[in-house]
Structure 1
Amino acid sequence: MRASRWRRSLVAVAAAGLLGFGTSACTSGDDPPKPAPLPTESPSPTGSSSEAPPSLPADAGGSSTRAAKAFARHFVDLVNYASATGDVEAINAVASDSCRVCRGMADGIQDVYSKGGHLEGDGWRVLGTKVLSGGRENERAISLTLLVSSQRRYEKPNSEPIVSDEIRGILDIYMRSTENSWTISRLVQS
């Protein structure tokens, strides 16, 4: 039952383009339930867009396993920043054109904020990382165990919030090392 709720929540969030963990390009054919967006790890008290997005940590440079793990954690910081501010530019900058889930998340966040709405919550928190084998050529895969706290999504100013439950699950991030950073090729909920 818990795994089913996790999958439905992730599919719904990703399908709505909100802060979902991601699902593979293949999802179930079921109609997803009403989406509940996911929160920010370090929420801004004001949601001010004057804040700068998180900088790439020094240990995320290069193509080592250590760098890939650091970048995966950095991606969580970017998602948290975007949900707190509505600024999705940093997510789009690290997502390849083929990462439909990345683009869907960014579009969903942008949609909420463009209507004058906002997201509130305590965010995604990384509980653990694991290196996966079996990625595509020149691709690193890092599995993150995440805790996503309850979130409130306000669709418009003064609207009643849509509240999501806390969710614990696994997000696999497939990425390729670039000259100065990493590019995410796909996100898969496992």
Structure 2
Amino acid sequence: MTTRNRSTTPTRLTLACLATLALTACTPNSPKAGQPDATAPTTPSTSTSAPPSTPQPSGPPDRPQAAEGLTLSAAEAFIRYYSDLMNYASDTGDSTALLNASEPGCENCKAYADFVKKSSAANGLLTGDFHEHLKEVSELVRGPSGRLGGSATVTVGKYVSRQTPTAPPFTSKPRTYTRELALSPQSGSWVMYEMKQVEQ
């Protein structure tokens, strides 16, 4: 795990999250983004998964113009775009665009990318309402280092996942969680620095 030093301001929860996000996001007990949370209610399933019958996306979503630049409004647009990239990766198993929009040291970004390479809708190991629905972006605060911290409220429906075709399937119940995140500037726009999900 890469250790990162960040400045904190004790009066703002967001800056505290910005300061500790990289450390807390990759602890052994933290759920990995996009993976079924071991602490969340899961139900063993005996049904078999079949590849989806709906057509897969032809390519990853393009970064919208609103997500260009380093303003707070660009940060919010980027966070919504990043959620779209996560959904695309879970559909197809292709995490290239997701990783291109992430810092190389983002541990949970890599963990999510590794998960969808193994289990995605394209290979039939991820079925149901697994898409993220990003409801709200809040508490965007720029730190003295130029990085930005904030959070997003995300809902996910009921879905079934498997690690391999022969592994037991698990059903994850619908849930809402908060994604705490940090962004960093890169080539004049934001990229994901680190993220973690906190069950509500």
Match of 1:39 in 2: none
1:174 — aligned with what? 182
- Once the two structures are superposed, the pairs formed by residues 1-190 of structure 1 within 5 Å of their partners are 24-28=25-29, 33=38, 45-46=53-54, 48=56, 51-112=58-119, 116-122=123-129, 123-133=131-141, 135=143, 137-157=145-165, 161-179=169-187, 181-190=189-198
Q: How much does 1:124 deviate?
A: 0.7
Aligned equivalents of 2:142, 2:26: Cα separation in 1: 17
SS of the aligned residue for 1:138 comes to coil
Q: CA RMSD in A?
A: 3.0
Aligned residues with identical type, % of pairs: 26
In 1, the alpha carbon distance for the partners of 2:67 and 2:99 equals 18
Is contact 2:118-2:164 (8 Å) kept? no
In structure 2, list runs of 5 or more residues that go unmatched. 1-23, 31-36, 43-51
TM-fit CA distance, 1:58 = 0.8
The amino acid of 2:193's aligned partner reads: S
1:24-54 deviation per Cα after TM superposition (whole angstroms, max 9, x unaligned): 133538xx73897xxxxxxx75363x61101
The Cα offsets for residues 151-190 of structure 1, whole Å up to 9 and x where unpaired, read as: 1224445876421111101002211122253221110334
Structure 2 length as normaliser, TM-score?
A: 0.67
Structure 1 residue runs of 5 or longer lacking an equivalent are 1-22, 37-43
Equivalent pairs counted in the alignment come to: 158
Contact 1:54 1:77 in 2 (8 A): yes
Q: CA 1:63/1:186 → structure 2, altered by over 3 Å: closer, same or farther?
A: same
So what's the TM-score if we normalise by structure 1? 0.70
What secondary structure, in the 3-state scheme, does the structure 1 residue paired with 2:119 have?
A: helix
Q: Say which is worse superposed, 134-143 or 97-106, in terms of deviation.
A: 134-143
Name the aligned partner's letter for residue 33 of structure 1.
Answer: A
Rounded to whole Å, the distance in 2 between the matches of 1:45 and 1:57 is 29
Determine if contact 1:68/1:142 at 8 Å carries over to the other structure. Answer: no
The structure with the largest helix share of the pair is 1
Contact (CA 8 Å) 2:72, 2:140: kept in 1 or not? no
